[in-house]
Chain A
Amino acid sequence: MTSMLNVKDLRAYYGQVQALHGLSFALNEGSLTTLLGANGAGKTTTLRAICNMVRSTGAIEFEGKPLSGQSTENVVRLGIAHVPQGRGTFTTLTVEENLQLGAITRNDRKNIVSDIERMYDHFPVLKERHTQQAGTLSGGEQQMLAVARALMLRPRLMLLDEPSFGLAPLIVRDLFKILGKINREDKVTILVVEQNAQLALELADQAYVIETGRIVMSGNAKDIATNEDVRKSYLGY
Chain B
Amino acid sequence: MELFTNQVLAGIATGAIYACMALAVVMIYQAIDHLNFAQGEMAMFSTFISWQLMQWGIAYWWAFLLTLVISFVGGIVIERLLFKPLAKAPVLTNVAGFIALFAVVNSVAGLIWDFTIKQYPTPFGSSPFLGSQLISTHQAGMIGVTLLLLVALYVFFQFTRIGLAMRAAASLPESARLVGINTSWMIALGWGMASAIGAIAGILIAPVVFLEPNMMGGVLIYGFAAAVLGGLTSPLGAVLGGFLVGIFENLAGTYIPGVGNELKLPIALALIITVLVVKPAGLLGRPIVKRV
Interface residues of A (CB under 8 A from B): 51, 53, 71-73, 76-77, 81-82, 84, 88-93, 97, 100-102, 104-105, 133, 135-139, 149, 153
* Interface-centre pick from A71, A73, A76, A102 (highest chain B CB count, 10 A): A73
Residues of A within 8 A of B290 (CB): 91, 135
- Asked whether B175 is an interface residue with its Cβ less than 8 Å from the other chain, the reply is yes
Residues of B within 8 A of A73 (CB): 177, 180-183
The stretch of B10-18, B97-105, B146-154, B166-174 in contact with A is: B166-174
- Asked whether B164 is an interface residue with its Cβ less than 8 Å from the other chain, the reply is yes
B179 pairs with A153, CB closer than 8 A: yes
Closest 9 pairs between A and B when the two form their complex, measured CB to CB: A88-B175, A105-B180, A76-B180, A72-B177, A135-B289, A73-B180, A77-B180, A101-B179, A73-B177
B residues 247-292 touching A (CB-CB < 8 Å): 286, 288-292
Q: How far is the CA of A137 from the CA of B289 in the complex (A)?
A: 10
Residues of B within 8 A of A82 (CB): 178
Residues of B within 8 A of A138 (CB): 291
Residues of A within 8 A of B171 (CB): 90-93
B178 pairs with A93, CB closer than 8 A: no
- Asked whether B161 is an interface residue with its Cβ less than 8 Å from the other chain, the reply is yes
A101 pairs with B168, CB closer than 8 A: yes
Interface residues of B (CB under 8 A from A): 161, 164-165, 167-168, 171-172, 174-183, 286, 288-292
Minimum CB–CB distance for B180 against chain A, Å: 4
Q: How far is the CA of A16 from the CA of B175 in the complex (A)?
A: 25
Q: How far is the CA of A91 from the CA of B289 in the complex (A)?
A: 8
Q: How far is the CA of A53 from the CA of B175 in the complex (A)?
A: 11
- Beyond the given A84-B178, A92-B167, A102-B179, could you list 9 further A-B residue pairs with CB under 8 A, ordered by the A residue number? A88-B174, A90-B171, A91-B288, A93-B168, A97-B167, A101-B164, A104-B180, A105-B179, A136-B291
Q: How far is the CA of A82 from the CA of B164 in the complex (A)?
A: 20
A84 with B289, Cβ < 8 A, contacts A104-B164, A105-B180 known: no
Minimum CB–CB distance for A164 against chain B, Å: 17
A149 touches which of B167, B174, B179, B289 (Cβ 8 Å) = B179
Residues of B within 8 A of A149 (CB): 179
Nearest residue (CB) in B for A142 is B291
Nearest residue (CB) in B for A76 is B180
Q: How far is the CA of A199 from the CA of B164 in the complex (A)?
A: 37
A135 with B179, Cβ < 8 A, contacts A101-B168, A104-B165 known: no
Q: How far is the CA of A201 from the CA of B223 in the complex (A)?
A: 59
A104 touches which of B181, B288, B291, B292 (Cβ 8 Å) = B181
Q: How far is the CA of A91 from the CA of B168 in the complex (A)?
A: 10
A97 touches which of B164, B177, B286 (Cβ 8 Å) = B164
Residues of B within 8 A of A51 (CB): 178
B179 touches which of A53, A76, A92, A137 (Cβ 8 Å) = A76
Nearest residue (CB) in B for A136 is B289
Q: How far is the CA of A51 from the CA of B161 in the complex (A)?
A: 23
Q: How far is the CA of A193 from the CA of B266 in the complex (A)?
A: 57
Residues of A within 8 A of B168 (CB): 90, 93, 97, 101, 104
A76 with B286, Cβ < 8 A, contacts A101-B168, A136-B291, A137-B291 known: no
Minimum CB–CB distance for B156 against chain A, Å: 14
* Interface-centre pick from A101, A133, A149 (highest chain B CB count, 10 A): A101
Residues of A within 8 A of B286 (CB): 92
B174 pairs with A53, CB closer than 8 A: yes
Q: How far is the CA of A170 from the CA of B181 in the complex (A)?
A: 34
A153 pairs with B291, CB closer than 8 A: no
A90 with B172, Cβ < 8 A, contacts A97-B164, A135-B290, A137-B291 known: yes
B289 touches which of A76, A88, A133 (Cβ 8 Å) = A133
Minimum CB–CB distance for B263 against chain A, Å: 39
Nearest residue (CB) in A for B175 is A88
B167 pairs with A76, CB closer than 8 A: no
Nearest residue (CB) in B for A166 is B292
Minimum CB–CB distance for A78 against chain B, Å: 9
Q: How far is the CA of A53 from the CA of B291 in the complex (A)?
A: 26
* Interface-centre pick from B183, B290, B292 (highest chain A CB count, 10 A): B290
Residues of A within 8 A of B288 (CB): 91-92, 135
B177 pairs with A76, CB closer than 8 A: yes
Q: How far is the CA of A139 from the CA of B178 in the complex (A)?
A: 20
Q: How far is the CA of A53 from the CA of B183 in the complex (A)?
A: 14
